[in-house]
Structure 1
Amino acid sequence: MKAFNQKLAMWMNPTPSKEAGINNIQIPGQVEHLIWQTRYKEPSSYEQDMVQQLIQAFSTGVTELDQLVNQLNQQGFRQESGESWTVEQFSEEMQRLGY
């Protein structure tokens, strides 16, 4: 099983493709079903750690963004740069990661 959608990675290129549609014709009954259709790359270890930290934070009952950010900081989970989180930085990171 592929861990990400290789075609999606190519489509994220900001310049129009000169080969649009090539190798994209779907034949009924022969379509490759991708589990990770919306991933253009495999998640990094930082992204995977973030998921675990978010699960842990939400399991404490936080429901508001400022509470979530405080919980992540209390858990010791930092930004990739090593800085503590602020609400603004967390929101920007979620936007960057596409969540």
Structure 2
Amino acid sequence: MKNFNEKLAKWNHALPSTEAGINNIQIPGQVEHLVWQNRSRAPSQYELDFVQHLMQAFNQDVTELDALTDALNLQGFRTIAGDLWTAESFSAEMQRLGY
């Protein structure tokens, strides 16, 4: 099983692709259905760790943004730059990751 959509990775850029579309992403009747259809790459170790720390916080009934950033900091999980989490840095990271 593929870990990400290789065809998506080829045209997922800031500028629209001139090649995306018919016969590139799908060929009618020959569509390969992928588990990770709209993931252009496999997640990094940082992203996988981020998910685990978020799950740990959510399992402790953390639901508010400030409490979430506090929980991440208390767990010892830092931003990709190694900084403590703030509401602003968390929001920026969610936007960067596309979630």
Asked if TM exceeds 0.5, the reply is yes
> 1:80 — aligned with what?
80
Deviations 1:29-73 (A, max 9, x none): x43110001101100000000000000011111110111000000
Following TM superposition, the consecutive aligned residue runs of length 4 or more in structure 1 with deviations greater than 3 angstroms are none
Which residue pairs with 1:61 in the alignment? 61
**Equivalent position amino acid for 2:28 in 1:** Q
Counting only pairs closer than 5 Å after superposition, residues 17-96 of structure 1 correspond to structure 2 as: 17-18=18-19, 20-23=21-24, 24-27=26-29, 30-96=30-96
Please, which runs of 5 or more residues in structure 1 have no aligned partner?
A: none
Aligned identity (percent) is 56
Please, which runs of 5 or more residues in structure 2 have no aligned partner? none
- How many residues are treated as equivalent by the alignment? 97
From the superposition, tell whether residues 56 and 17 of structure 1 become closer, same or farther in structure 2 (CA, over 3 Å).
Answer: same
